[in-house]
Amino acid sequence: MQHAKADVQPMTQGADAPAPGSRTAVLVAEGLQKSYGPRQALRGLSFTLGAGRLLGFLGPNGAGKTTSIRILTTIMEPDAGQFTVDGISHKYPEEIRRRIGVLPETFGLPKQMTGIEYLTYFGQLYGRSARQAKQLGLELLDEVGLKQRGRSLVSTYSHGMRQRVGIARALINDPMVVFLDEPTLGLDPRGQQELLGLVKQIAQERSAGVILCSHLLTEVESVCDDVVILNSGEIVATGSVRDVIGRTERNVIRIRVPVPSLAESQRALGTIPAVRKVAAANGSTGWLRVELSEVLSDDHQISNAILETLIRARIPILSFEPEGGRLQDVFLNLTAQAIK
Amino acid sequence: MSERHPANDRRLEPTGAASPTWWIVFSRELHDLWIGGKALYLILIYAVLLGIYSYLFASNSELNLLPLKQMVLEIVKAAIAVGLFICLIIGADSFSGERERATLEGLLLTPTSRRQIALGKFLAAVSPWPVAVAIAVPYWIVLSKGDAALVPALLWGPVLGSLLAPAFAGVGMLVSVWCNSNKTSMLVSLVVYLLLIFPAEFSGLATVPLGSQMAARSDVLQWVNPIAASGRFLHDTLMGNSTLHQLWLWVTTPVLFPVVVLGVLFAFAGPKLRLEAGTGRLGRTAT
């Protein structure tokens, strides 16, 4: 173990340094590259994950997310670059695997096993005695809300329950870094909410760094502290969710008013000096797209002026949101830019 | 960054009297094979086939169409051939089956070494062989009717089978390491099996005396094929009462074959086991 530690070289700190609030970096990746023949799947992935932080790992299909996860979980070797988990170099994959927990996007469960048997088996593979592994398995089943179904065959579990038992397996070694690849895929809205709550709990109560791969940007925005957006094997944005969202220039506001008030709203808004253009939003009945002559600032002066104007004109405001003010807008904007 | 986190040390230490990981994998596989039913079904089929075979041989023997010694030889060879097939099929399912069921990734993500995973699975794949022998021995005893061929049959049948069963399980596992699809793994293993078993069976049909050059070529082909070499050894021991000293050459292939197969499996293929088939960088894709 000491030998493995000694091999680790300190990596550059800076933009990818541990995010504020985190005690320490549990995962540091630097310049990871991977090619499949002539196609470069990963072109220098670098980021840092702090303990207790939840990092959203985003990207369109083919962006390199699965390759990144497989490299970071030691399933695959990088062509170039390095990464460390708890200071252990990727050259020691077995040591890395002791410190990580993974819920792959697709994972199978043996049909003949019960939930507790499954967790006991994996607990033993991590070096626990059968008794201790079983005890730990029971605790984890309780933690993920499956205590009552621990003795049922996993083949009888619903999709949500399978995801939960998969998360329990990922936690069996009390990992420092947890990788969750599309954990809410195929779950109903309530199941999604409950699972995201569980994910947040893992980061907070276990002080583990969590990497959450997802296509559902609203869920990433709601639970993650940090975000990495990948496109074509490159990072196009990284930082805290708030910073990444704040980095985009926002000069459009979308407002929803009752349809009979659309024309009146357009007239009223057109009188505001900061408003460049007001038009009905394409394809959305009752929505107005208000283009501003300047970027929205944090003091909300323009937003307030718009709201005030509409209220004075006694126009009911059904919805009001700056375009680009959500992670989804940032994601679409960044990935579209990169494609261009 | 390279400092240890003392608070987290508890996560890393194996606790209690942990079993070796190959044993844990072996126990699990054994449970899946025998409680899950796959090995049980195969052994059931084996028992039925052996029963049919024995009935047919016994009928022929009653009609004096087949000498007693020949009948014992054939039933011993049949028991070995089917037993090897079972080990091969279970070996062929070991990795490609897990890949298809998406259970391999979880196993590879544990700190268990690939070699230990391979060892646990290998031992489980060989587990039907002792059961197959236990089922076959009563048939041999009853059919031999106390003939002198019984003793060498009871000795050399299990010995040769015990040499070849691990080798065939190993061949199945090697194929499985390189196949993403379970169907492909099974088919390739079946082809390998047929390539070995057919020449071995046909060599026994050469009743016409061959010229010395042809006989030498035939001998070389039999020697190269582990099943044919075992068959020849059993034939000469049971039918000709030859001794091991006279026939040692025919045992070399059944001994060398498992050594080579298991050497490749545990020294090369097993440690390089990957989530996606193959041992090198080629053919691995992910996005």
On whether ipTM exceeds 0.85, the answer is no
On average, the pLDDT of chain A sits at 85
Determine the length of chain A: 340
Q: Can you tell me the distance from the alpha carbon of B78 to that of B46, in angstroms, rounded to the nearest whole number?
A: 10
Q: Can you tell me the distance from the alpha carbon of A279 to that of B139, in angstroms, rounded to the nearest whole number?
A: 91
**Cα B199 from chain centroid (whole Å):** 18
Q: Does B284 touch chain A (CB under 8 A)?
A: yes
Scanning B178-243, the segments in alpha helix (DSSP H) are: 182-203, 212-224, 226-240
Query: Which residues from B are below 8 Å from A207, CB to CB?
Result: 7-8
Cβ neighbours for A40, distance < 8 A, ≥ 6 positions apart: A33, A34, A233
Q: Can you tell me the distance from the alpha carbon of A47 to that of A68, in angstroms, rounded to the nearest whole number?
A: 11
Do residue A87 and residue B3 have CB atoms under 8 angstroms apart?
Answer: yes
Scanning chain B, the segments in alpha helix (DSSP H) are: 21-34, 38-62, 68-93, 96-100, 104-108, 114-126, 128-144, 150-177, 182-203, 212-224, 226-240, 244-264
pLDDT at residue B199 in the model = 77
Q: Which residue among B10, B18, B31 places its CB closest to the CB of A127?
A: B18
Q: Can you tell me the distance from the alpha carbon of A290 to that of A253, in angstroms, rounded to the nearest whole number?
A: 5
Q: Can you tell me the distance from the alpha carbon of B273 to that of B255, in angstroms, rounded to the nearest whole number?
A: 26
Q: Which of A317, A185, A312 is nearest to A261 (CA)?
A: A317
* Nearest residue in chain B measured CA to CA from A93: B111
pLDDT at residue A326 in the model = 77
Query: Which residues from A are below 8 Å from B280, CB to CB?
Result: none
DSSP secondary structure code for residue B10 in this structure:
G
- Residue A152: both structure tokens together: 């049922």
**pLDDT class for A17, splitting at 50, 70, 90?**
very low
How large is the average pLDDT for residues A251-276?
A: 88
Cβ neighbours for A168, distance < 8 A, ≥ 6 positions apart: A115, A119, A137, A140, A141, A143, A144, A146
Are the C-beta atoms of A191 and A180 separated by less than 8 Å? Answer: no
Do residue A108 and residue B1 have CB atoms under 8 angstroms apart?
Answer: no
Query: Which residues from A are below 8 Å from B106, CB to CB?
Result: 104, 107-108, 122, 169
User: Shortest Cα distance from A148 to chain B (angstroms)?
Assistant: 24
- Per-residue pLDDT for A58 more than 80? yes
Q: Does B32 touch chain A (CB under 8 A)?
A: yes
| Rama region for B234: left / alpha / beta (φ>0; ψ in -120 to 50; rest) | alpha
Q: Which residue among B3, B7, B102 places its CB closest to the CB of A107?
A: B102
Q: Kindly write down the DSSP assignment for every residue of A192-239, as one continuous string.
A: HHHHHHHHHHHHHHH--EEEEE-S-HHHHHHH-SEEEEEETTEEEEEE
Q: Does B107 touch chain A (CB under 8 A)?
A: yes
Q: Can you tell me the distance from the alpha carbon of A231 to that of A238, in angstroms, rounded to the nearest whole number?
A: 12
User: Shortest Cα distance from B110 to chain A (angstroms)?
Assistant: 6
Q: Does B205 touch chain A (CB under 8 A)?
A: no
Q: Is A2 exposed, middle or buried (0-12, 13-18, 19+ CB in 10 A)?
A: exposed
CB pairs under 8 A between A and B: 128
Are the C-beta atoms of B127 and B39 separated by less than 8 Å? Answer: yes
More confident residue, A23 or A264: A264
User: Shortest Cα distance from B275 to chain A (angstroms)?
Assistant: 7
Do residue A125 and residue B107 have CB atoms under 8 angstroms apart?
Answer: yes
Q: Can you tell me the distance from the alpha carbon of A52 to that of A19, in angstroms, rounded to the nearest whole number?
A: 10
pLDDT at residue A281 in the model = 79
Which residues, listed in sequence order, are joined to residue A254 by a DSSP beta bridge?
Answer: A289, A321
Q: Which residue among A11, A67, A111 places its CB closest to the CB of B286?
A: A67
Q: Which residue among A66, A98, A121 places its CB closest to the CB of B111?
A: A98
Q: Can you tell me the distance from the alpha carbon of A19 to that of A240, in angstroms, rounded to the nearest whole number?
A: 7
Determine the length of chain B: 287
Q: How far is CA A22 from CA A26, A48, A80, A180, B20, in A?
A: 10, 11, 28, 20, 37
pLDDT at residue A218 in the model = 84
Q: Could you list the pLDDT tens digit for every one of the 287 residues in chain B? A: 343 433 444 454 555 567 899 999 999 999 999 988 899 999 999 999 999 988 888 887 666 667 888 888 989 999 999 999 999 999 999 999 999 999 999 999 999 999 999 999 999 999 999 999 999 999 999 888 888 888 889 999 999 999 999 999 999 999 999 998 999 999 999 999 999 988 777 665 454 455 566 667 777 888 889 999 998 899 888 887 777 777 888 889 999 999 999 999 999 888 888 888 754 443 343 44
**pTM score above 0.90:** no
Over its C-alpha atoms, chain A yields an Rg (Å, rounded) of 24
Tokens 């959305």 correspond to A284
Contacts from A241-245 at CB under 8 Å and sequence distance 24+? A241/A56, A241/A327, A244/A327, A244/A330, A245/A221, A245/A324, A245/A325, A245/A326, A245/A327, A245/A330
Are the C-beta atoms of A151 and A181 separated by less than 8 Å? Answer: no
How large is the average pLDDT for residues A197-210?
A: 89
Q: How far is CA B75 from CA B193, B203, B234, B237, B238, in A?
A: 19, 17, 11, 15, 12
- Per-residue pLDDT for A301 more than 90? no
The lowest-confidence range among A128-142, A273-287, B77-91 is A273-287
Scanning A144-188, the segments in alpha helix (DSSP H) are: 159-170
Do residue B111 and residue A84 have CB atoms under 8 angstroms apart?
Answer: no
Are the C-beta atoms of B198 and B120 separated by less than 8 Å? Answer: no
pLDDT at residue B283 in the model = 38
* Helix or strand (DSSP H, E) at B285: none
Tally of helices (H runs) and strands (E runs) in chain A? 12, 14
User: Shortest Cα distance from A241 to chain B (angstroms)?
Assistant: 24
Q: Does B102 touch chain A (CB under 8 A)?
A: yes
Pairing of strands A54-58, A209-213: parallel
User: Shortest Cα distance from A188 to chain B (angstroms)?
Assistant: 23
- Residue A252: both structure tokens together: 């459009």
pLDDT at residue A296 in the model = 66
Q: Can you tell me the distance from the alpha carbon of B284 to that of A71, in angstroms, rounded to the nearest whole number?
A: 12
Are the C-beta atoms of A219 and A197 separated by less than 8 Å? Answer: no
